[in-house]
Each structure stands twice: as structure tokens, then as C-alpha cells.
Amino acid sequence: MSENPKPSKDPHGRRLTKPLALAATETQHKQPTIQPLIDLLKSCEQNGSLKQANCIHGHVLKSGFGDRDNLVFLNHVVHAYSKCMDYDSARKVFDGMSTRNVFSWTVMIVASNEHGYYRYALELFCMLLEQGLMLDGFAFSAVLQSCVGLDSVVFGEMVHAQVVVRGFLMHAVVGTSLLNLYAKLGMCECSVKVFNMTEVNGVSWNAMISGFTSNGLYLQAFDFFINMIENGVSPDKTTFLCVSKAVGLLGDINKCHEVRRYASEWRLDSNTSVGAALIDMYSKCGVLCDARVLFDSKFANCLVNAPWNAMITGYSQAGCHLEALEMFTRMCQNDVKPDLYTFCCVFNSIAALKCLKSLKETHGVALKCGFDAMEISVLNALADAYVKCKSLEAGEKVFYRMAKKDIVSWTTMVTAYCQCSEWGKALAIFSQMRNKGFAPNHFTFSSVITACGGLCLLEYGQQIHGLICKASWDADSCIESALIDMYSKCGNLTEAKKIFEMISNPDTVTWTAIISTYAQHGLVEDALQLFRKMEQTSVKANAVTLLCILFACSHGGMVEDGLEIFNQMEGTYGVVPEMEHYACVVDLLGRVGRLDEAVAFIDKMPIEPDEMVWQTLLGACRIHGNAELGETAAQKILSTQPEPEHSSTYVLLSNTYIESGLLEDGIGLRDVMKERGIRKEPGYSWISVRGEVHKFYSRDQQHPQKDKIYAMLEELTRHMKHMHYEPEFSLIF
């Protein structure tokens, strides 16, 4: 056996890196060869090693290569610099070349495309034409990609004309590039014409299938796939990746099975990429059982994460969140390394389950897997998950620790604050976002409008409405509904009605918003009239719509109408009543004093009534002074959760005693609260001054202007006494 060669050293005994070692060796020869250096450059491209590429380039500049070898080498240097993300150096080398061949121009066109300089790439092609050099198919292929980048049909057709004139129409590479051009520009009919006129191969067929899929022509993509097989062209991995996506979006189960059968026939269903695509296809078609059978039969012991990710995503998107978490746990047990897609999906499932313990555990797994400096997308999903798991503080920590934030990050926090009724913070972070130069999207605007409605800040809401119109988001259905709701809560019924009437085809959410608006303003007849008008359209009422109508009937005393609508929910509207609907019916009966009927209704409920239902009954007992039934309702509520969490129950029962004339019992219950350390959650009021929301709590000592505030309160109290005003204490706690 021969000994391993010793590392090369310079005259001073210092060890040289690989390219420099080669350079030192080559300078000792009279006729250095170019190929080893080109091979090293290719290695630099693969590793992204710009420093080594610089060293090799510098060595060649000092070497005595001939003109031909120098030209070949510089072409590769341009390509290497581009691949190492140093476009400026690539262009500098290209501009300094004394002679260029068609490969030189093609390499520079490709480099410009890769770095987004599509117009300059097109200019290079025009200069190439002026040089009178003999073009090849690769030059045309490169410039056609430039036309795609510019999204220009005109330039594409001009290049197409050159292809025809110079006789390259039958060139397979050029033909495929033309197919891709027209498909990417949404001109599939032109793609088909080119396909029928040129010499095609498997890549051409794949380009057509991909083009149809990207343009939403899923059935055509599948048909082309079948034609490909019938024409004796063997599908490859790329073929199945494209057709699986098309069939998944088409949602045709029979075609799913057909694609799977062909994948098995060509023995590609065991390939991890194809397998992941097939699993995703089955999931999108709603046949998770078939997706799981494929996974268990081919990838149960696979160490590549693509099939695992596809299965987890399928479960998550189908709402099978527990199954998604179980699959993730099994994935970790099998030592399959998760990636950012895995964690995004798992965090979304945990958010849906609202399981803080699982979220913390998964967050820990992410950190152990080296995701301590996570991608923005993962951090956004993590922050959102913490908020939905009722841990706003943890969500805030994730957000503020982000090194970089995108519009999704900011929107996540604006939405988070709205979900937690922290309206003031939502507005504050919205202002910070705009100050940082981020343009709000329709999700951001929808959330911030909700915050304005929550605080009843009409003026601020009108300013946001102006920004929405300026950004051309005013026709978005989510924003239209949010604006109607905001103006309603701010008391501007006229503006809410005006927005609704401007909508040409209101959807369910928009109809629900305007019905809710009239209901909240006590215009019950108008709300019911709108509901009947909605029924005459093709728009179907959902659970929220029916809840708004029941609310309107309850507050308007229209008991029979409300009961009729409730009884029609499943049969007529196809909506299974939820707990909120049952609570609304209890309120409907309770408000008009039909307490016995309310109790009978609760007893007949097909689901176990929760505290919301009993709390509603207790409120009705307070209104009508029924202390005995109020005690029963209160006991039901207090039996569900620890006492400190039900201060409102004690307050309602105490007020019920007082309303019934049992003053001692009411006061005694308040004493019990004090003994048990049960404190009523303080209410507060607020105002907005110069864009800042000021909250005021009872006996608040935290506000910076508390002295002036209490001085004003004392003055108002003196005025009240002077006017002989007598406050009602029975409902004050």
C-alpha cells in the first residue's frame, strides 16, 4: 500500500489550502493544464465557497495560459462567482474579457437571470445578436427565461420569432423553454401549439403538465399525463410531482388511485419525493386513510422527513390535530429530523388544540434540533400558537426576540391583541409596524378595524378606513364586514348601512355583519327583514348568522319568532345548534319572565349545559327577582370550576337577592366573597387622546395624571349632591 501524500507547504513550511496547494504545484510545470482548475471551480460552486474561487481566479491571472484556455476558464469563473452569490464580480470578469464566445454570453445571461436582472439579460442577448456569433439552443433557452422573469409576452414573442428564423424550433431544449414561457405567462393555448410543432421529449411533456397545473387547468394536466403514457413516453419523478399536485387540487379520488397505480407500475411510489406528493394528493382529496396506508407501507421506517411532513400536513389541514401530533411524536422517536415545515404545521395543530403543555414541549424539541435561530415563518407560527393557547405573554416574548420581522409577524401580534381584547395594544403595535415601513395587508387592516370597534374609536376608525381605501383593500369581503361591525359599535349605523349597500354580492359574513348591526341597535324588525331578504338570495345562513337573529329576537321580545328559527336550524338551515344558541334561547325565554319554560328547555338539551347557559338563567333570575331559582343556577356554575374564577356568579346572585328584597342575604354573600378572597374583576372605561388610549379603573392609582382625575371627580360629585341626585346602589358592587 502506498503512503498518503503529505500536505503541500510553501518555502516557509506553512500548510497550503487545496486550491493554493494546487497552484503552487502547477507553477513548477512549464505547461499547466486548465481542467483541474475548472473542476475546483465547480466544487466552489457546489459549496458556495467564494474565497476559494477568488484564490483560483487569482492564480490563473498569474499563469501563462493560452488564449483559448483563458477564455474557457474565465467563462467558468463568471459562472462560479454567480453561483457564489457575487454577481458584481461575475459581471466585472465578463466586462474585462478581451474575447467572448457564445458560451460567455450565455453564462452571463444565466447569471443575470439568477440574480433578478432580467432586463439586463435581455440587453445582453441583443448585444450577442449584434456580435454575429453562431447561437446555440442554450442561449435561446436562457433569454426565454429572462422574458418569463420580465412577465413580458411581447419580448417572448420577439425571441420566439428569432427561434423560428434561425431554425431552432425543433431543438428540444428551446422547444421546452418556449412551452415554459407561454405556460408561465398564462398562455397555455400557445404552449400546446408549440408542443405540437416541435420535437418533444419527457422534459417537454413535464413542462406541459406543469404549465397546465400552474394555470389551474388540473383536468388538462391529468389528460396530458395519460396522453404521455399512451404515446410511449416514460414518466419520471418530475412527472408524478406535477400530476399529483394537479389531481390533488382537482379533488378526484378515482384519478388519485389511477396516478398511484402508474407510480407503482414505474416503481416510483417508493421514492420519497414522489411518495410525499402522493400522500399530499390523497390528503387533498379527503382520503386520509389511503394516504396513511401508503405511508405505512412505504415510509414507516423512512429517515427522510418529506413523507412524514406530508402526512402531518394532511392530518393538520383536515382538522385531525391529535393525529398530526401523534405522527410528529412518532417521527421524533424514529430519529427523523424535523425541519421548519414540520414545526410550522405542528405549531398550527397545537394552536387548534389550545394545549399549552404540548406547545412548550414542541418548542423545546425545536430548540434541541438547532432551531434556536428559527426562520421567520416558524417564529410566526410559534407566536400565534402561544396566543391561541392563552399565553399572550409568551407570544409577546417570541415576537420581540425576533431578529427580523415580516408583515406576517406584525399582523400576528395585531390579531393576537384583538383576540385577547387588548385593543389599545393592537393599535399601538399597528402604529409601530407602519413606522417601521411595513405596508398593512387585508388581514392587518381587518384586525385593526376590529380594535377600533372594540374601543368605539370612531375617528381613528375613519382614519384607518381612509388608509384602506388608499391601499385599494376596501373591496375585500373580510374588510367590508369588519368596517360594518366597526361603524356599528361606534354608533354610526348610517355609515355601516352605506358600506353594505355598496357591496354588489354580499357573502354570508357580510350579511351577518349588517344583521348584527341592526340587532345591536335594537332595530329587531329591520334585522329580521334583512334575514328574510338574505334567505331569498343564494347565500346560506351559518351558525353565526342564526345566533345574531336569535340575539335580535331575544332583545326585541319576539319569543315566538326566535323559537321558530331555533327549531328550524337543523332541518331548514343545516346548522347543528351549539352552546351559544341554547344560551340565547334561555335568554329569549328568561327576559320575558318565562323562567319555568327556560328551565324545561335546559333539561331537554341534548348536550350538557355549561356555565354560559346557567349564567344566562341566573341573569334572568336577577331581572325577575327569583332568588330560589337563582341559587340553583349559581350552584350549577360554582360546581364546574374553582370559586375565584366565578366572581361574576357571586355578584349576580347577590344582586338577585337584593332585587328580591332579601337585602341581608345579598350583603351577606358579599361578606362571604371577602372572607374567601374572591374579588370582582374591575370594570374600566377609556378614552383616546392624540392616538393614545387611556384606561380608568375604580380606585386606580397607576395613571400618571391620577391627581387631576380625582380632583375632577370630587368636583363632579359636589355638583351631583348640589342637584340632589340619588344614585341607584342595588347594582353597584
Percent of the chain clearing pLDDT 90 (strictly above): 57
- Give the mean pLDDT of 300-311: 94
Distance, in Å, from the CA atom of 302 to the CA atom of 295, rounded to the nearest integer, reads 9
Residue with cell 407561454: 182
Percent of the chain clearing pLDDT 70 (strictly above): 86
What CA dihedral angle connects 183, 186, 188 and 194, to 10 degrees? -50
Which position has the higher pLDDT, 184 or 705?
Answer: 184
Residue with cell 391561541: 388
Q: Which residues contact 549 (CB under 8 A, 6 or more apart)?
A: 515, 519, 527, 528, 531, 541, 562, 565
- Give the mean pLDDT of 431-442: 93
Residue with cell 432580467: 118
Reported confidence tier of residue 128, pLDDT bands at 50, 70, 90: very high
In the predicted model, is pLDDT for residue 685 greater than 80? no
Lowest mean pLDDT among 94-98, 491-495, 620-624: 620-624
Reported confidence tier of residue 19, pLDDT bands at 50, 70, 90: very low
Distance, in Å, from the CA atom of 502 to the CA atom of 499, rounded to the nearest integer, reads 5
- Give the mean pLDDT of 426-442: 93
Reported confidence tier of residue 71, pLDDT bands at 50, 70, 90: confident
Q: pLDDT tens digits for 182-214? A: 988 989 999 999 888 888 889 899 999 999 999
Which domains, and CATH codes, for the chain?
A: 495-693 (1.25.40.10)
Q: pLDDT tens digits for 141-154? A: 999 999 999 999 99
Mean pLDDT of the chain: 86
- Give the mean pLDDT of 238-258: 95
Residue with cell 335546559: 602
Reported confidence tier of residue 388, pLDDT bands at 50, 70, 90: very high
In the predicted model, is pLDDT for residue 304 greater than 80? yes
The whole-number pLDDT of residue 133 equals 87
In the predicted model, is pLDDT for residue 366 greater than 80? yes
Q: Which residues contact 65 (CB under 8 A, 6 or more apart)?
A: 32, 34, 73
Distance, in Å, from the CA atom of 484 to the CA atom of 300, rounded to the nearest integer, reads 51
- Give the mean pLDDT of 641-666: 64
Contact 491, 458 (CB under 8 A): yes
Q: pLDDT tens digits for 306-319? A: 999 999 999 999 99
Interhelix angle 579-591/559-567, rounded to 10 degrees, is: 160
Half-sphere exposure (Cβ direction) of 728: Cα atoms closer than 13 Å:
5
- Give the mean pLDDT of 675-699: 67
Reported confidence tier of residue 504, pLDDT bands at 50, 70, 90: confident
